[in-house]
Amino acid sequence: MKTFLNIGFSTLLLGLVVVSCNDDDYQTIESIAKIKIDSVKVMKDTMSVFSIQSIKTYSTYPSHCDGFYGYDYIYEDDLERTVTTYKYMTSGPCQQSSYVGTNQIKFSPQQKGTYTFRFWNGGKNWITKTIVAE
């Protein structure tokens, strides 16, 4: 009886592993590209050193085959940052309507000063925001 239960349990476990490995409900990322940041929302333009706030960015994606991939967040110096958003693109069936995606950066100033952020808005255009850390 104990051997029969062990065989039954092993068969059930093997069946679960086979089912979980056969998951075709995903899209493959075909490419990655820059996407302009349409607008930026800074909650507080003055904050304390070492406190944390979210800076929200908004971008318009051309279809639901596209989505947020990540930020290129570059420290120009101690108080200046440039931010570019990247999107992924997949192939396959999806809604072709555009949508606005919201993403965020967690910012925590490490020293006092006026921080300048430049967010890429397409071409040679940038959205500039400043945050004072006291």
The domains found in the chain, sorted by start residue, are: 27-133 (2.60.40)
Share of residues in the chain with pLDDT > 70 (%):
81
Contact 93, 25 (CB under 8 A): no
Residue 33: predicted pLDDT: 96
Give pLDDT tens digits for 6-59. 454 454 444 444 444 544 556 788 899 999 999 999 999 999 999 999 999 999
The per-residue pLDDT of the chain, averaged, comes to 86
**Three-state SS at 69:** strand
- The CA distance from 13 to 11, in Å, is 5
Q: Compute φ and ψ for 43, nearest 5 degrees.
A: -65, -45
Partnered with residue 118 across adjacent β-strands are: 82, 128
